[in-house]
Amino acid sequence: MSSRIQRLATSLFLIWLVALGLRVGFLVHQVRLIPAEVLATVPFENEVGSVAQSLAQGHGFCCLFRQPTGPTAWLTPVYPLLLASIFKMFGIFTFASFLAAALLNCVFSSLICIPIFRAGRRIAGVPVTALGAWIWAFFPSGIVMPFEWIWDTSLSALVAAILLWATIVFDESFTSRNATGYGLLWGFALLTNPALGALFPFLLGWAAYRPYRQRRLRPGRILLALALAFVVCAPWTIRNAIRFHRLIPLRSNFAFELWRGNNESFDEYSREVNRITRFEQVRLYAQLGETAFLEEKMQKAKAFLRAHPALALQLWGRRIVATWFGTEDPWTSFSRADSLLVRFILGWNALTFLGLFIGLARLLAARNSYVLPLAVYPIIYPLVYYLTQTSLRLRHPCDPVLALFLAIAVLGAHGQPLQPDA
Q: Answer for the pair 95, 40: CB distance below 8 angstroms, yes or no.
A: yes
Residue 108: CB atoms within 10 A of its CB come to 21
Please check whether residue 358 is in contact with residue 410, taking contact to mean a CB–CB distance below 8 angstroms. no
CA 320 to chain centre: 16
pLDDT bracket for residue 271 (50, 70, 90): low
pLDDT band at 207 (very low <50, low <70, confident <90, very high): confident
Q: Does residue 421 lie in a domain region?
A: no
Q: How far apart are CA 264 and CA 236, in angstroms?
A: 34
Tell the burial category of 294 from Cβ atoms under 10 Å away from its Cβ (0-12, 13-18, 19+): buried
Nearest residue to 109 via CA among 85, 84, 138, 81: 138
% of the chain exceeding 70 in pLDDT: 94
Torsion of CA 128, 129, 131, 133, to 10 degrees: 160
Cα R_g (the chain), whole angstroms: 22
422 within a domain of the structure (yes/no): no
- Long-range CB contacts (< 8 A, 24+ apart) of 275-284? 282/65, 282/67
Residue 31 lies in a domain: yes
Residue 270 pLDDT: 67
Mean pLDDT, all residues of the chain:
91
Answer yes or no: is 419 within a domain: no
- pLDDT tens track for 49-91: 999 999 999 999 999 988 888 999 999 999 999 999 999 999 9
For the segment 407-413, the average pLDDT, to the nearest whole number, is 82
- 192, 163 contact by CB (below 8 A): no
| 174 inside domain | yes
- Inside any domain, residue 61: yes
Domain containing residue 270: 2-413
Q: Is 62 helix (H, G, I), strand (E, B) or coil?
A: strand
Q: pTM for the complete prediction?
A: 0.94
Number of folded domains that form the chain: 1
Q: Select the more confidently predicted residue: 331 or 396.
A: 396
To which H or E segment does residue 87 belong? helix 78-90
Determine the Cα–Cα distance for residues 371 and 102; give it in Å rounded to an integer: 34
8 A C-beta contact, residue 237 and residue 247: yes
What does the pLDDT average to over 98-109?
98
Is residue 365 scored above 80 in pLDDT? yes
Instruction: pLDDT band for 414, please (50, 70, 90 cuts).
Output: very low
Q: What share of the chain has pLDDT > 90, as a percent?
A: 75
User: How much is the average pLDDT of 19-48?
Assistant: 96
DSSP symbol at 71: B
